[in-house]
Copies of this chain bind each other. A is one copy, B any other.
Amino acid sequence: MRKLGLIGGIGPESTIPYYHDILYGVQERVGRAYFPPMVIDSLSCFEVMPMASAGKREELAAYLLGSIRNVAAAGADFAAMACNTAHLVFDELERESPIPLVSIVDVTRDRAVAQGYRKVGLLGSIGTMTGGFFEKSFSKTGIAIVTPRAEEQSYIEHKLLSEVELGKILPATQEGFRKITERMAREDGIEAVILGCTEIPLIFAGMKSPVPVLDTMRIHIAALVDEIMK
C-alpha cells in the first residue's frame, strides 16, 4: 500500500470527492473496514487559476512545487494534483518533484485511446483550454483536441470562478455548458467531451450531455486507487 499526497484546494469542491472516493475505493478493493494513509495539502484555486490564465508558469510551478514538497515531507510516496489547470506546468513539476506524480491528463488520454475516440472536445479553465498540455499529451496517440471559441472560453472561466468553485451549481449555467458542447458536436464533430476541470462534472451531473463525457476526476481517482494498491 502506497501513501498518496494529494494537492487539493484547487478547488475544495473537488478535493472532497477525491478524498472520499479514494478512501472508499481502496476500502472496497481491500475488502474490509480499512482506510489507507493519505495526505492532502490544500492550496487555493483563487491563486492557481489566475496564474494559469495569465501564463505565469514559473510562479505557478513554484506554488505547486511547494505543496508537492509538503506532501513528500509528510510521507507521501507519490503525488497527484486534484486539478486539471495545475497540469499546465506538469513537465516542470515532474522534473523537480522528489516523488513520482500521476498526471490527470495522461490517464484521461489512456482512457480516450481505450474508447477509440479520434476527436474530442475540451472544457476547462482558460489555462487548460489555451495551455496546450492536453493537445501535447493527446497528439502522441493521434487524438485531436477541439477547444471552445474565445467567447465560450471566457464564459466557462467566469462561471467556474464565480459559481462552481464556490459550490454553486445553477440550472442556467448547466444549460450554458450544454449548448457549448452541442455546438462543438454539430460544428466540429467531437465524439466525446473532456470535462477538463475537476469542478465541471458537478455541472454535468444534473444534465444530459449531447456527447459521451470523459470525466477527468473519475478517471484520475480510479488511477490513484490503482497506484495506492500497488
Residues from chain B with a CB closer than 8 A to the CB of A23 are 9, 12, 42
Q: Which residues of A, 41-57, contact B by the 8 Å Cβ criterion?
A: 41-46
Q: Are A38 and B42 in contact (CB under 8 A)?
A: yes
A196 within 8 A of B: no
Copies of the polypeptide in the assembly = 2
Residues from chain B with a CB closer than 8 A to the CB of A12 are 19-20, 23-24, 35
Q: Given A71-B74, A75-B70, decide whether A40 and B40 contact each other with a Cβ distance below 8 A.
A: yes
- Give A74 Cβ to nearest chain B Cβ, in Å: 4
Between A41, A75, A167, the greatest number of chain B beta carbons within 10 A of the residue's beta carbon is seen for: A41
What 13 additional pairs, Cβ within 8 angstroms, besides A37-B44, A39-B39, A73-B75? A9-B23, A9-B35, A12-B20, A16-B20, A19-B40, A24-B167, A33-B166, A35-B44, A39-B40, A39-B70, A39-B74, A70-B73, A73-B73
Q: Are B35 and A11 in contact (CB under 8 A)?
A: yes
Q: Could you tell me the distance between the alpha carbons of A139 and B15 in the complex, rounded to whole angstroms? A: 40
Proximity bits, A90-104, B CB within 8 Å = 1, else 0: 000000000000000
Q: Which B residue's beta carbon lies closest to that of A43?
A: B37
Q: Which B residue's beta carbon lies closest to that of A33?
A: B46
